[in-house]
Amino acid sequence: MRRRSIGASAALHTTLVAATAAAVFPVLWLVLTSIKPRDGWQSTKVAVFDHPTLANYDDVLTRTSFLRWMANSVLVAGATTVICVAIAASTGYAISRFRFPGVRSVMWMLLVTQMFPVAILIVPLYNLMARLGLINQFPGLVIAYLTVAIPFSAWMLKGYFDTIPVEIDEAGRIDGLTPFGTFWRLVLPLAKPGVAVAAFYSFMTAWGEVAYATAFMTGDTKYTLAVGLQQFVGQQKAEWGLMTASSVMIAAPAAVVFLLVQRHLVTGLTSGATKS
């Protein structure tokens, strides 16, 4: 291999340092602002640590409905993740392994449904939810998120199942397993990286979504975290101290989920993208 010149190495490392700084700065600013006094962000004095305090976190936890919003988001995101993975995995496996009438139509449907912007779907989904009595109900919000998460996850998992040899299915049938038994006992354990990607995507879809939650949840007790943060923004003033403290606590569960599945993410994304 050709050795890189000193100038090229310097340019490469400078670019990497600049990119890292650009990625880390917003997060660092968020954390530092959250530990400043309530109105410390308005100060014209530039200081990294300006009387650090946890008062913002205390106010968020004790004087707002943050814990209720957190519980609502955990419930909605958890239900969305479980249901999405179950439906998307079975759908992706069926499309990958079986040839039935309309299989190509199903594939096109999964692809086309991802092309519609959320803003276009809010009105028809709202009318449908209203007729079913699901406005301001968690099941209605979960269904709305599934309309976004399932098509992508099923398409991605179909590509991942394509990389698993069909001979494994044949061996399972020879051993007397039913098609579902083959899927559950043999194929699904081998698809853990792809399932991890689908689970992470569906969780993040529900965890940080704002548009559907704002449109469909009308009661303060049913707000999710993304909608609850809007309560800190008034017509005259925004409570940046409370917003940044809440944002740090909101990011923590997402970081935990990422750490749990991160060793599978790269494998699942690359494998699912190589075949279709």
Which amino acid belongs to residue 248?
Answer: V
Q: Which domains, ranges and CATH numbers included, belong to the chain?
A: 55-274 (1.10.3720.10)
pLDDT of 272 reads 44
pLDDT of residue 275: 43
C-alpha 2 chain-centroid distance: 41
Query: What pLDDT was estimated at residue 236?
Result: 64
pLDDT in tens, 127-172: 999 999 999 999 999 999 999 999 999 988 998 898 888 888 888 8
Q: How far apart are CA 82 and CA 198, in angstroms?
A: 10
Cα–Cα distance, 255 to 30 (Å, whole number):
15
What pLDDT score does 85 carry?
A: 95
| pLDDT attached to residue 235 | 61
**Per-position b or e across 206-245, b if 16+ CB within 10 A of its CB:** bbbbeebbebbbeeeebbbbbbbbebbeeeeeebbbbbbb
Predicted pLDDT of residue 112: 83
Question: Rounded to whole angstroms, what are the CA distances from 1 to 6, 10, 13?
Answer: 16, 19, 19
Global model pTM greater than 0.85: no
Q: How far apart are CA 77 and CA 141, in angstroms?
A: 10
Backbone angles phi, psi at 64, to 5 degrees: -130, 180
pLDDT reported for residue 273: 42
Query: Which residues of the chain fall below pLDDT 70?
Result: 1-2, 4, 38-50, 234-236, 264-276
pLDDT above 70 coverage of the chain, percent? 88
